[in-house]
Amino acid sequence: MTTPLTDQTAIEYVRNGPLGQSFFAGEQELSSAQIAEGNVNLIFRVFKTADVKKSLLLKQALPFAWRYPDFKMPVDRQRIENGILEIEAKYCPEQVPQIYLYDTENNILAIEDLNNHLVMREGMMQRIRYPKVAGHLGKFMARTLFFTSDLYLSSAEKKAMVPQFINPVLCKVQEDLVFKEPFIDHPNNRWTKPLDPIVKAIHNDDFLRGEIYMLKERYMTHAQALLHNDLHTGSILLNLEETKVIDPEFGFFGPIGHDVGSYLSNLVLGYAAQEWHSPDESERAGYRAWILESLRETWQVFEAEWLSLWESHGNAEWPSDRLRVNYMRQLLRDSAGFGSAEGFRRLIGMAHVHDFWTIKDEMVRAQAESLAINAMYGWAMHRRGFTSIEDLIDVVKIARPSI
């Protein structure tokens, strides 16, 4: 049984172990503070008492979600997170935190404390424009996904990797929370009260449900590449110069469009939430324009990097120029579909986001959320006809609140 860390035992763990000599170089005056963000893992910041910037994070996996002790979870997720971070660091080191220690006995991961960075979701709520994030995320997704796909790996290499990252419990969480529960009357769901008629219509819409369940089947059966599997603006820490992707513990081999779409749809959630976060109409229009340009640039960088890697590093199993056109078009459509499912779960499912729950006025919150719902509905129902990123953007541009 893993013993949960406390503020005091986190200090003792660092001081009396290898981190005390390597990272803190024998420093005895250490302090610790638990970080409350997140629902699943215990996270402690351990730092030099005289210099808070000299710090690291201890992330401990317990056999349950620390905020919800009745929700049992495998501690093996820490092994998966460590393994994915190592692979991501191999192909895109600039975009992941440094690992200092992985302790298999206590299920503890010691990682870089990105204390000069802000959670992207929070930055967007403050209307900060990040000039490099689109380039960083487009490159990150292209490189980490391409180099774990069949386009690069040999058939034998790929099949040997897949079972190393089988993640049944956390995948089941996503299967239920993303692809099932928001589209039926389920006790886990919650939403803003004025959305009642919209939610009822969604629960009665079997055409929408049929589209989402097709994506669920693809999520469960298409082991295209090693996914982060929880890639959204809450799992990105950044500043004006750097972008870091964190928390890949949900990772497994799945459909590439799930990662890409999850990130793009969270940009749309930030876009919709500006209904309240940008009370000035001209300021709101300006920031929304930046979000849509970031969405466009992210896909363009992703697509260009992907095709460049395919040209320079692809294996010889795919001798077809036409395949590349078809492949990228299918990735775009998959991204729109998976992005819509992620958006719906954040709006009318169980796992809501800070963009909206910080809006205290219920009617304003419902207006912003209904705009996002309409955009996500458009992505889900029209994705089969999408041919370029402009199609996704156009759906967002014409979306309006329904409340």
Amino acid 41: pLDDT:
87
* pLDDT tens per residue, range 366-377: 999 999 999 999
* Calpha distance 268→272 (Å, rounded): 6
Assigned superfamily of 7-112 = Phosphorylase Kinase; domain 1 (3.30.200.20)
CATH of 118-398, one of 3.90.1200.10, 3.20.20.70, 3.40.1350.10, 3.40.50.300: 3.90.1200.10
Band (64; pLDDT cuts 50, 70, 90): confident
Is 97 in contact with 193 (CB distance < 8 Å)?
Answer: no
Domain residue spans of the chain: 7-112, 118-398
Listed residue (202, 163, 197) closest to 186, CA to CA:
202
* pLDDT tens per residue, range 1-43: 578 999 999 999 999 999 999 999 877 799 999 987 666 789 9
Is 402 in contact with 374 (CB distance < 8 Å)?
Answer: yes
Phi, psi of 146 (to 5 degrees): -60, -45
- In Å, how far from its chain's centre is CA 207? 27
* Calpha distance 301→303 (Å, rounded): 5
* pLDDT tens per residue, range 67-109: 677 778 889 999 999 999 999 999 999 999 999 999 999 999 9
DSSP letters spanning 174-221: HHHHHHTGGGS--TT----GGGHHHHHHHHT-HHHHHHHHHHHHHHHH
CB atoms within 10 A of CB 306: 25
Amino acid 38: pLDDT:
62
* pLDDT tens per residue, range 246-265: 999 999 999 999 999 999 99
Listed residue (383, 385, 60, 354) closest to 215, CA to CA:
383
* Calpha distance 359→357 (Å, rounded): 5
* pLDDT tens per residue, range 226-251: 999 999 999 999 999 999 999 999 99
* Calpha distance 115→69 (Å, rounded): 28
Element (H, E) at 242: none
Average pLDDT taken over every residue of the chain: 96
For the chain, the maximum distance between any two Cα atoms, rounded to a whole number of angstroms, is: 63
Question: What percent of the chain has pLDDT above 90?
Answer: 92
Exposed (0-12), middle (13-18) or buried (19+): which is 350, by Cβ within 10 Å? middle
Handedness of CA 119, 141, 308, 383 (dihedral sign): negative
Helices (H) and strands (E) in the chain, counts: 15, 12
* Calpha distance 83→98 (Å, rounded): 13
Flag whether the pTM goes above 0.75: yes
Exposed (0-12), middle (13-18) or buried (19+): which is 139, by Cβ within 10 Å? buried
